[in-house]
Amino acid sequence: MMELFAYSNILAGVLILIIGFGFHFIGQLISVLDWKRAVKLGIAEKEILPEYRDYELGMAMADVLVGWVYVLIGVGLILDISWSFKLAWIPGVIFIYHSISFWFWSRNQKYRGYKYRSTIGRMGWFLANLLSGIFIILFAW
């Protein structure tokens, strides 16, 4: 496997563990199991409309169902295990999907008069997911 740069597998593995397993899986698992605790921790929005909450819970469940595999891929990349390179495209594509869907989801909320996130928070989450996804896909390619 041709590397982008020295130790790119470790960087990709760490990104997958932090963003994929840490934020997407663990954060969404908390949302699914205890919405009130997720709100207290700042994972979920405090005054979200019921129809938005239903959507958020659905997305949380989807993240939980696929997110457990991130720990296997992330650790596999860090340990330089060959199968993890083949699977790394999965979180890469999902991170890009998350960034784009989050951007439009939060924009649509703002247009409707519900601003749940700051502009800096919105940009940060969008860019963290997008740039990590692009890097991971380039790495896995």
More confident residue, 29 or 105: 29
From residue 20, give the alpha-carbon distance in Å to each of 13, 25, 49, 72, 116.
10, 6, 26, 11, 22
pLDDT tens digit sequence for 2-30: 566 778 889 889 989 998 899 889 999 99
Q: Map residue 88 onto helix, strand or coil.
A: coil
CA–CA distance, 81 with 83 (Å, rounded to integer): 6
2 falls within a domain: no
Burial of 10 (0-12, 13-18, 19+ CB in 10 A): middle
102 falls within a domain: yes
92 falls within a domain: yes
pLDDT tens digit sequence for 35-75: 999 989 988 888 788 878 888 888 889 889 998 999 999 99
pLDDT tens digit sequence for 71-93: 999 999 999 998 998 898 998 89
94 falls within a domain: yes
Report the domain count for the chain: 1
106 falls within a domain: yes
- Residues 123-127, mean pLDDT to the nearest whole number: 91
pLDDT at 96 over 90: yes
Q: Map residue 141 onto helix, strand or coil.
A: coil
How many C-beta atoms lie closer than 10 Å to residue 111's C-beta?
A: 9
- β strands within the chain, DSSP E: none
The length of the chain in residues reads: 141
CB 98 within 8 A of CB 59: no
1 falls within a domain: no
Q: Which domain holds residue 73?
A: 8-140
53 falls within a domain: yes
Q: Is the dihedral of CA 55, 57, 60, 61 positive or negative?
A: negative
What was the pLDDT predicted at 75? 95
